[in-house]
């Protein structure tokens, strides 16, 4: 019987239409300044943001998890592991806040949601079902054509990648909304129960391009 595993090595190819990635995982296998997944959306204004994803890594250094840049700001929305400790830096419109003393064990799957409200400038993280305190980042809407990337941090609009900041590990179940979604929806995501998929990016209908060597496997093979 053929082994039920999907393993795709895609070099600079793009998907013709959104794909349902339910039950699949992106694998970023090595340190490079090329491997990344570019997410495609026609939206050009974000009054607020919520992102949710699940990931696993054994890295002890800094790395970018999700990066959204516009022609105005390279770090218009960025989730960044900022040191060897369990700290996450969240950027919005080039402002930032550090969320510290998180429990981010290596070689462990973590569920993470990040919210940011453009009217108040407040941001918050949820990690494995637990919410952090809210912190001020920046006010004002994100505007302009976005370049959104999993696995790298953008130092320029759509580029400036540094291999020493690249993500090595696995990412799945990525969603993004252009609102701060209700707490009950975040809890449903964390508990892997029914929730409303992202209206900007949805893992169930993802429009994306793979650059470099990124693999895809079945969730059942790695979780």
Distance CA 212, CA 194 (A): 33
20: left (phi over 0), alpha (psi -120 to 50) or beta: beta
What pLDDT sits at residue 16? 55
DSSP bridge pairs for 125: 114
Distance CA 52, CA 57 (A): 16
List, for residues 5-59, the tens digit of each pLDDT value. 333 333 344 445 899 999 999 999 999 999 999 999 999 999 999 999 999 999 9
H-helix segments, 17-125: none
Angle, alpha carbons 40-79-68 (nearest 5°): 30
Distance CA 70, CA 44 (A): 9
173: left (phi over 0), alpha (psi -120 to 50) or beta: left
Give whole-number Cα distances, 89 to 11, 86, 137, 170, in Å: 30, 10, 10, 19
Four-point Cα dihedral 95, 98, 103, 109, nearest 10: 20
Q: What is the mean pLDDT of the chain?
A: 92
pTM, rounded to two decimals: 0.92
The first and second tokens of residue 14, run together, are: 């793009």
């Amino acid at each position: 019987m053929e082994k039920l595993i999907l393993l795709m090595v895609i070099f600079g190819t793009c998907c013709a239409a959104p794909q349902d990635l339910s039950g699949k995982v992106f694998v970023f296998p090595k340190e490079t300044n090329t491997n990344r997944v570019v997410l495609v959306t026609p939206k050009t204004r974000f009054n607020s943001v919520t992102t949710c994803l699940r990931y696993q890594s054994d890295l002890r250094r800094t790395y970018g998890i999700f990066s959204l840049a516009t022609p105005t700001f390279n770090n218009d929305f960025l989730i960044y592991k900022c040191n060897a400790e369990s700290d996450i830096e969240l950027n919005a419109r080039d402002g930032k806040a550090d969320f510290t003393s998180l429990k981010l064990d290596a070689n462990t799957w973590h569920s993470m949601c990040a919210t940011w409200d453009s009217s108040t400038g407040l941001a918050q993280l949820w990690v494995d079902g637990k919410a952090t305190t809210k912190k001020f980042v920046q006010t004002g809407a994100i505007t302009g054509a976005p370049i959104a990337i999993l696995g790298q941090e953008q130092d320029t609009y759509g580029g400036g990648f540094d291999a020493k900041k690249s993500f090595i590990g696995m990412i799945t179940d990525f969603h993004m909304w252009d609102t701060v979604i209700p707490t009950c929806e975040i809890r449903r995501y964390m508990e892997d129960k029914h929730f409303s998929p992202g209206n900007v990016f949805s893992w169930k209908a993802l429009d994306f391009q793979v650059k470099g060597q990124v693999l895809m496997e079945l969730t059942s093979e790695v979780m």
